[in-house]
Structures are given as structure tokens and as C-alpha cells.
Amino acid sequence: MAIIPDETPTTKLLISSLLLTTFIAISSTAAFAFLFFSSAAVNHHHHHDRPPNRTAARETQSSSRDPNLLRWVPIRGSWICPENYCAHYNGSVPFEDRVDTVLNYFDLPIDEMPVFMMLYFEDPNHQGHMVGPDHPRITKSVKNIDRMIGRLIDGLEKRSVFQDVTIIMVGDHGMVGTCDKKYIYLDDLGSWIEIPEEWVQSVGPVLSIRPPSDRSVSEVVAKMNEGLRSGKVKNGDKLRVYRKEDLPERLHYSGSERIPPIIGLVEEGFKIELKDLGNPECAGAHGYDNAFFSMRTIFIGHGPRFARGRKVPTFENVEIYNLITSILGINGAPNNGSSSFAKTMLLPHNHH
Ligand SMILES: *[C@@H]1O[C@H](CO)[C@@H](O)[C@H](O)[C@H]1NC(C)=O
Ligand SMILES: *[C@@H]1O[C@H](CO)[C@@H](O)[C@H](O)[C@H]1NC(C)=O
Ligand SMILES: *[C@@H]1O[C@H](CO)[C@@H](O)[C@H](O)[C@H]1NC(C)=O
Ligand SMILES: [Zn+2]
């Protein structure tokens, strides 16, 4: 859902278009949105009819505290960006400084100003993992992120560019509470099959297992499901194990060698662990089937190409790539967004 906030018109001083992407995920089972985790990008180029020639500022999206991000692998291809524009991720940099780094790019001479900027905040994802999405600490964290967005907007207004800047705020996932002892322990499957720790690549909301090559994947899957359906394993009926090629097609989760051959899907809010080590009873997680409403996030677009106050129907985040390349007027790489999406979302170019 996109909500383009109303704002007071100011004079356009710069002929520039800028795109800022703040990734803000929301978690809520109710109709209203709850900011969750955020990361952001800003982008800008001087004329719509001239392809941008500068790519910049990237504070990358991996948080060492986030177990789901630990196994991210580098994106294929090269990232050519001058050192002073492309900071490596450093979770210790205060959020204020991150915002100010972006704002300072606007004070550079026009030909040194980056064309595309990204800002990333690891909150409230960070708190969400520890206390679940419904805790007052999350409200506090959301307030703080809101303050950062305010700082950014104020800084842009001070420079009289806010109206000409394109800003996209988007989250990469939602969050759901995992309270009430919703655990499934692989240890409990021992009577059907032993799952050595070395086979297990991930636990939590997504189970992934890579058995040694001399073991039959189908047999492991069958034995596990037999145990899970026996009625003798705690919460066993909440976990279903698949050969990755048998997963529902809509998940698009079989095409890569990096995906282990066995994947387990759990019901919303449940978690898989190797064994009972006395886990906290109330925490939060994401990574569940994206069909769950709690895994959804928000999208907010601001700028010359977004109609004010317009709401659009729900869409998948894979569409955002083409939206950005359309705004920038560049040819993107092949991707899984639909080519017509940007047209349905954006206003036509406004030639000054
Ligand atoms: C970008 O601009 C610089 C000079 O301003 C030029 O040397 C360089 O070739 C340009 N790069 C591209 C990809 O056009
Ligand atoms: C990360 O940021 C902190 C705070 O600005 C700084 O003190 C530290 O040196 C940085 N670490 C690296 C590896 O750059
Ligand atoms: C996603 O896009 C890539 C690159 O174009 C393509 O190879 C792949 O088949 C696409 N996947 C789906 C499910 O459309
Ligand atoms: Zn997370």
C-alpha cells in the first residue's frame, strides 16, 4: 500500500530529481501499519533526459544481529563506486550521522552530488527480534525512526530541494511474535531420524537441511514428516518438511544451488530449534511464508513522479526495482518485476 503524504508546496529551486529509499517494514496483524525495520536509499539526477552518471552512498543491508541476514552472499557483478561515497555497513554509526551523511551530499557541487543514495536503519527490526512486535520498546524505536525521517525531510527543506527529491521508503519484511512456547525441536524426531547439527543450515522460522550426499533426501524428508505427523512430537503438526523442488511454486525457492535440498515451513509464529535450551518465551521473527499478513511491509513514495495522497493496491517488493529504474530513466538488469508496473504507479514525466 502506498501513501503519499501531503506537504506544503515550496518553490522549486533545483532542477533535480532525487530518489530516496528508506526501507521500512511493518508488522501488524491489524489493518494499520506499524513501522518495523528500515533501510533507505536516496537517488538523484539532474535532468530526466540525461542518464545519471554517479552512483553513491550505500550503507549495506546486513546486520550482524540478524540471524536471517548472516548467510547473505555478495550480489553477483561488480560494484563500482568511489570509496568516499560507498561506506561499508557499520552498525555503530549513529542514525543521525547516517541521515547527515546523505544531507551532506546535497551540499556538494552539482557534478559531485550522488545520483542514487541509500539510507539504512536496522531498527525496529533489531528490537522486534528481542521482544516481539507488540512491545512498548518497538513503539519507542518506531518513534525514533520517525524522528530520523523528520531530520531528513527538515534537512532537505532547508536546502529547498524536498519537492524535487524522490523519496521511497520501504521495508523488507514484517515481524510476528513467537511467544507462548511455539517451538519445535528437531531433537524430538530422534525416534524417526537423527538430524546431526552439521546437516542443519538454518533454524528459526525457516528450517533448511543439507544432508551428506550419500543420504537420500527423499528418505530424510519422509522420516521427518512421519515423526512430525505422529502426534508425539511437540508442535509437530505445525512444521512440514519438503524437498525444495516440492515447495509451493509461488515461493520461488528452489532454483538456486545455495538453497539446501530440504526446507521446512512452519505455521505463523512458530520456530524450529535443534533442542530445548530454554529459549526466551517472548521474541519476534520474520522469514515465514510471505502469504502471512504479518510478513508484509509498507511502501511510501514521495516526489515529482508520485501523485499526492494516492493509495495503490498491494504489490510485491520485486516491483520496486523497475520503479526506481523508471524514475532514474536508466535501463535495469533483467529482474522479476513486471515491465508495466512503473506505469501504473508513476505520474508521467514533467518536463520543465
Ligand atoms: C561520468 O562523467 C565523467 C566526467 O564527468 C566521465 O569521465 C565519465 O566517463 C562518465 N561516466 C559515464 C559512465 O558516462
Ligand atoms: C564504525 O563507526 C564507529 C562510530 O562512528 C567508529 O568509531 C568505528 O571506527 C567504525 N568502525 C569501522 C570499522 O569503520
Ligand atoms: C526472474 O528473472 C530472472 C532474470 O530475468 C529469470 O532468469 C528468471 O527466470 C525469473 N524468474 C521467474 C520466476 O520469473
Ligand atoms: Zn530481522
Domain coordinates of the chain in residue numbers?
2-177+291-345, 180-283
Confidence of residue 240 (pLDDT cuts 50, 70, 90): very high
Name the burial class of residue 312, with classes exposed (0-12), middle (13-18) and buried (19+) by CB atoms within 10 angstroms of its CB.
middle
Q: Give, in order, the Cα–Cα distances in Å from 287 to each of 107, 204, 205, 251, 267.
A: 39, 8, 6, 12, 11
Q: How much is the average pLDDT of 154-181?
A: 90
pTM above 0.85, yes or no: no
**CATH, domain 2-177+291-345, list 3.40.720.10, 3.40.390.10, 3.40.50.10070, 2.40.340.10:** 3.40.720.10
Task: Give Cα 290 distance to the centre of its chain.
Answer: 12
Instruction: Answer yes or no: are the C-beta atoms of 20 and 42 closer than 8 Å.
Output: yes
Looking at residue 135, what is its pLDDT? 93
Closest by Cα among 18, 53, 320 to 167: 18
Burial class (CB in 10 A: 0-12, 13-18, 19+), 280: exposed
The residue type at 152 = L
> Is the beta carbon of 339 within 6 A of some atom in ligand 3?
no
> Distances from the Cα of 66 to the Cαs of 62, 71, 72, 123, 286, in angstroms?
8, 10, 11, 11, 10
Is residue 334 in contact with ligand 3, taking CB distance under 6 Å? yes
Q: Is the pLDDT of residue 45 over 70?
A: no
Work out the pLDDT band at 35, boundaries 50, 70, 90. very low
Per-residue CA distances from 77 to 21, 119, 147, 337 (Å): 22, 22, 36, 19
* Residue 79 pLDDT exceeds 80: no
Tell the residue nearest (CA) to atom 14 of ligand 2: 90
Q: What is the pLDDT of residue 328?
A: 86
Q: Residue 271: its pLDDT value, please?
A: 94
Residue with cell 512503473: 342
Structural class in CATH, domain 180-283: alpha beta
Average pLDDT estimate for 118-139:
91
Contacts of 31 (CB under 8 A, 6+ apart): none
**Ligand found nearest the CA of 62:** 4
User: Residues within 5 Å of ion ligand 4 by Cβ?
Assistant: 66, 125
Beta carbons of 296 and 174 less than 8 angstroms apart: yes
Q: Whose CA is nearest to atom 1 of ligand 3?
A: 336
pLDDT of 116 reads 83
Q: Average the pLDDT over each of 7-21, 152-166, 261-275 and give the range with the smallest value.
A: 7-21
Q: Could you tell me the pLDDT band of residue 12, with boundaries at 50, 70 and 90?
A: very low
pLDDT band at 82 (very low <50, low <70, confident <90, very high): confident
Is 336 near ligand 3, meaning CB less than 6 Å away?
yes
Expressed in angstroms, the distance from the first to the final Cα of the chain is 29
- Mean per-residue pLDDT, 113-122: 86
Grid cell for residue 199 = 546437516
How many angstroms separate the CA atoms of 172 and 295, rounded?
9
SS3 content of the chain, % helix, strand, coil (to 5): 25, 20, 55
- Residue 41 has a CB neighbour count (10 Å cut-off) of 26
Which is the closest atom of ligand 2 to the Cα of 90? 1
pLDDT at 235 over 60: yes
